[in-house]
Structure 1
Amino acid sequence: MPKAIRVHEYGGPEVMRYEEVEVGAPGPGRIRVRQTAVGVNFIDIYFRSGLYKAPQLPFTPGNEGAGEVVAVGEGVSGLAVGDRVAYGSASGTYAEEVVVEARMAVKVPEGIDDATAAAMMLKGLTAQYLLRRTYPVKAGDTILFHAAAGGVGLIATQWAKHLGATVIGTVGSPDKAELARQNGCDHVILYRDEDFAARVKEITDGKGCAVVYDGVGQATYPASLDCLRPFGMFVSFGNASGVISDFNLALLGQKGSLYATRPTLFTHVADRATLEAMAEDLFGVVTSGAVTIPVHSRAPLADAVQVHRDLAGRQTTGATVLLP
């Protein structure tokens, strides 16, 4: 019987158990996949801890993975047994085998291996909707990306540089600063040691940025708003440091008629045609070499507890992949 990570109660990393599970045949509109690689993301911690609620307990965490289709449910078109597929907004992917909605899976092109595919779907599609759909970054823009050495950050900063932007990134350590520089950042700010809003003003000669991409949350608000030019856009897409609990709408007016938005990947990929177009855009920049997907850590699926400890302790850079 295949194995998976199961969470029977919300809590710390230790609540995850590695145990046998029934997978079953795929129902209508679904496929069964034998996974070869599983992506790890901060959202998995939110679900495990109970910050985000799973539909029921026990549950298997994970949204991202790649592998081979081993069975196809009724009404599925475009995918067949033997296809290599990947997905970034499935559910229950911390598993050897998983049943996912076919509409969430895309075929992986030649030239992209399974570990890269598993590491790039959620983070890469997130970078895609941030840079191409939320605020379309163009040549000449100056942008600020918080946590530039993280999984989404390292993809997004390379991509933004490829689009012709001047990229400012914030990071938490000198090692991460070096990594950020290697991945497209023109300017790197150590946010623990420096006032990042003041540094952004210096770097931009007081003009500010067109957009701030903020997956950090509580620790960077409201200072992120001070980094924007008039009519700039504050894009909040995560809360690694805690949720922004008291967002003050009046500040947007005071600080220059700013825009603020809180997009999610799930809304963007709910439409199949949009998902396919986003994936095509992502696969294009990766296969061309414009963006390299940084898989910095690989671990057995059974070691998910330690992987979560490392991720929550900000010990990781780039992408982490679990291998079933």
Structure 2
Amino acid sequence: MKAVVMHAFGEPGVMSLDDIQLAAPGPGHALVTVKAAGINFMDTGTRRGLGAALSLPLTPGVEGAGIVMAVGPGVNEVQPGDRVAWHYVPGSYAQQVLAPVSLLVPLPDAIDFDTAATLMMQGLTASNLVHCVHAIGPSDIAFVHAAAGGVGQMLTQMIKLRGGKVIGRVSQADKVDAVIAAGADYVVIGRASQVASQVLRLTEGRRVNVVYDGTGAEGFADSVSLLDYFGTLALYGRFMDPIAPIDIFSLPRSIKLTYPSVMHFVRSREALLEHSRALFDWVTAGKLKVVIGRRYSLAQAEQAHRDIESRQTSGKLIINP
């Protein structure tokens, strides 16, 4: 079968399209034909060799949806022919993937593969941020960095579903319409470190209750300055720009800093199924819209990484093997 393979860490050009052979699924595993694989910014960090120690060669990608082809001994959770989705199965940029069945979520007929591959990682991340990390209420004002991105648009919609107000930040004017379409009350344009005064003008001087930031260091000081008493700065994203060490005693207004992991949100299979079903129900009911920015083939993985790293894209990028 075909798979995107890295034989070295580095720039997008280290990825190639190779023929590989997967082993038969063992106990607790299933062989799945990948119909759609989600492209996440964390994949670019994996490609560069950042984070946990990884062995080469490897196939990037962790998110996707497809059809179960075979199961290992003793597997009862899924059967061949089942439609499934997953949020974290390494090796997803491929025609097939070996997946732990504990991480496979049954896919309702109403949810297509592309939608599922868009929802799993970014949808669960956004759900964690607005339900657990800072439970948005009707009086809350949220400031969302990178609001035109996949997580940003999910966050915006979910905040509005919970009755909050959203001020979204985009880097350039051609992304404004996408954020307004997602439901944002206001949009500011500029770099992360250049928009605090715009936000305060829009709120008539009122600070915000929560800042969601997947970019990191550049806007950190401004994000802190924008937070009201007991506000929350929620940082997310595996490979954001690193933030310098800070003195916790210097933080003003009893604000809270957190770097939550979606893995903790779905740390049990029961939680994974519950939160995934909630996402599927919202989509089916028309409450949550999935925005796919671009689609690529496996052979176009290099271009997909160049596009996502350019930060010129809007919505979710996916691969259709």
- TM-score range with shorter-chain normalisation? over 0.9
- Residue type of the partner of 1:280? R
How far apart are the structure 1 equivalents of 2:247 and 2:197? 21
Runs of at least 5 residues in structure 2 that lack an aligned partner in the other structure: none
Question: Percent of aligned positions with the same letter in both sequences?
Answer: 38
Tell me how far 1:206 sits from its aligned partner: 2.4
Conserved 8 A contact 2:36-2:113: yes
- Residue type of the partner of 2:272? L
2:285 corresponds to 1:282 = no
How far apart are the structure 2 equivalents of 1:39 and 1:180? 21
How far apart are the structure 2 equivalents of 1:238 and 1:245? 16
Tell me how far 1:95 sits from its aligned partner: 0.5
Tell me how far 1:76 sits from its aligned partner: 2.5
2:301 corresponds to 1:304 = yes
How far apart are the structure 2 equivalents of 1:25 and 1:4? 16
2:125 corresponds to 1:126 = yes
State the match for 1:72 in structure 2: 71
Relative to the length of structure 1, the TM-score reads: 0.95
2:214 corresponds to 1:215 = yes
Tell me how far 1:194 sits from its aligned partner: 8.1
Conserved 8 A contact 2:118-2:292: yes
- Residue type of the partner of 2:130? L
State the match for 2:265 in structure 1: 268
Tell me how far 1:35 sits from its aligned partner: 0.7
Conserved 8 A contact 1:25-1:73: yes
Within 5 Å, give how 1:1-324 maps onto structure 2: 2-192=1-191, 195-238=194-237, 242-252=241-251, 255-324=252-321
- Residue type of the partner of 2:165? T
Conserved 8 A contact 2:37-2:64: yes
Tell me how far 1:283 sits from its aligned partner: 1.1
SS of the residue 1:167 aligns to: strand
How far apart are the structure 1 equivalents of 2:180 and 2:169? 11
Conserved 8 A contact 2:142-2:210: yes
How far apart are the structure 2 equivalents of 1:46 and 1:67? 25
SS of the residue 2:152 aligns to: helix
- Residue type of the partner of 2:303? Q
Q: Which moved more, 1:57-66 or 1:235-244?
A: 235-244
| CA deviation profile, 1:126-152 (whole Å, cap 9, x unmatched) | 111111121111222111111000011
| CA deviation profile, 1:31-61 (whole Å, cap 9, x unmatched) | 1100111100000001001122453111111
Conserved 8 A contact 1:59-1:92: yes
Conserved 8 A contact 1:217-1:239: no
SS of the residue 1:60 aligns to: coil
Aligned length: 321
Conserved 8 A contact 1:47-1:54: no
SS of the residue 2:180 aligns to: helix
The alignment yields a C-alpha RMSD, in angstroms, of: 1.5
Conserved 8 A contact 2:193-2:218: no
SS of the residue 1:256 aligns to: coil
How far apart are the structure 1 equivalents of 2:63 and 2:53? 16
Conserved 8 A contact 2:145-2:192: no
SS of the residue 2:38 aligns to: strand
- Residue type of the partner of 1:118? A
Conserved 8 A contact 2:192-2:219: no
| CA deviation profile, 1:266-287 (whole Å, cap 9, x unmatched) | 2222211111111112112111
SS of the residue 1:221 aligns to: helix
Relative to 1, partners in 2 of residues 1:21 and 1:54: Cα closer, same or farther, differing over 3 Å? farther
Relative to 1, partners in 2 of residues 1:194 and 1:42: Cα closer, same or farther, differing over 3 Å? closer
- Residue type of the partner of 1:133? C
| CA deviation profile, 1:269-306 (whole Å, cap 9, x unmatched) | 22111111111121121111111110121111111001
How far apart are the structure 2 equivalents of 1:107 and 1:268? 18
How far apart are the structure 1 equivalents of 2:207 and 2:100? 42
Relative to 1, partners in 2 of residues 1:281 and 1:271: Cα closer, same or farther, differing over 3 Å? same
| CA deviation profile, 1:109-163 (whole Å, cap 9, x unmatched) | 1211111111111011111111112111122211111100001111111121121
Tell me how far 1:78 sits from its aligned partner: 2.4
